[in-house]
Amino acid sequence: MDEYPEPVHEPAAGALDPRAELSEFLRSRRARLKPEDVGMRDFGRHRRVPGLRREELAQLAGVSVAYYTRLEQGNGRNVSAEVLDSIARALQLTDAEHAHLTHLAKPKQKKKPAGRSQQVRGTLRTLLDAMDGVPAYVVGRRSDILAWNRMAAAIFGDWAEMPAQERNWARLVFLRPEYRDLFVDWEQKAIDIVCQLRMDAGRHPDDSRLSALVGELSVKSEEFRQLWATHDVKEKCHGIKHLRHPLVGEFDLRLESFHLADDREQSLVTYHAEPGSPSAEALRLLASWGTDATRAGTGASPAGESQ
């Protein structure tokens, strides 16, 4: 039975309290495991908590109950990488979840200077423009859209017409109805965005812009608020997106995402269709019709500041 009282975390609305983030993440991962999932016998006794008890998790991880309890209450100071690895194995964390736990428990002490803009290299903008027929864009921290090419604008909208702060996937997907229509699998797109924002929160708990974004979306979107409360994390590197465009109807594109070697907080995201498929024809039609957003790739300004 869990005998230890839960700590009280009362951050301001939308704030990202590192201790609370660590505490809630560990509890949420423990709650999803049942004794039979980890080879333990469940004798049918009434369980006061969902999932594994703290003492059961501590036993699996090979640490004392008191030590694990302190960690789950948000005290990650001086925790070793070996202990985190053991707890990650006991909780059956994915690679992304393991990385998130490490960021939460052992936040980096060295911070980037406040006010530093998320700059996209000029050669990368040139590459975007050269990818004729391939929708592509660069996304940075907080899901900010930093640069894009003409084909991305033809599919996703003329981002050049938006204020820089609105060029953000989280705001677009949760607050703009037209993006619910664009993504046939809107729910999955929403999940992917929230999971990535959680990863960002683990890496940068002091990011005031991210805190403000989370606070705004939590107030304006019940769906965002529910997804944020799950504490799920993952990185979307590839997959298929089902789209519904007002000009060509429904079609599928394959997504590939690549972290930049010199800045892992920026990713190049590309889309392509299977050769000879109806989706490839839809993409060709969009390319041939063109768009007023041809200036988008060169007109985009930095979407925010890294802190």
Task: Return the domain boundaries, the chain.
Answer: 18-105, 116-306
Which residue, 148, 154, 157, 104, is CA-closest to 129?
A: 148
Query: In this predicted structure, what is the pLDDT of residue 112?
Result: 53
CATH code of domain 116-306: 3.30.450.180
Selection from 107, 94, 78, 91 nearest residue 204 by Cα: 107
Q: CA-CA distance, 99 to 103, in Å (whole number)?
A: 6
CATH of domain 18-105: 1.10.260.40
pLDDT of residue 172: 97
Of residues 186 and 50, the one with the higher pLDDT is 186
pLDDT of amino acid 35: 81
Q: Which pLDDT band holds residue 18 (cuts at 50, 70, 90)?
A: confident
301 falls in which pLDDT band (50, 70, 90)?
A: very low
Read off the pLDDT band of 234 (50, 70, 90).
Answer: confident
List residues bridging with 106 in a β-sheet.
Answer: none
Task: Give me the mean pLDDT over the 162-168 stretch.
Answer: 93
- Cα separations (Å) of 58 from 46, 53, 197, 258? 20, 9, 29, 37
pLDDT tens column, 67-91 = 899 898 888 777 888 989 999 999 9
Q: Is 304 exposed, middle or buried (0-12, 13-18, 19+ CB in 10 A)?
A: buried
How far, in Å, CA of 253 to CA of 240, rounded?
Answer: 6
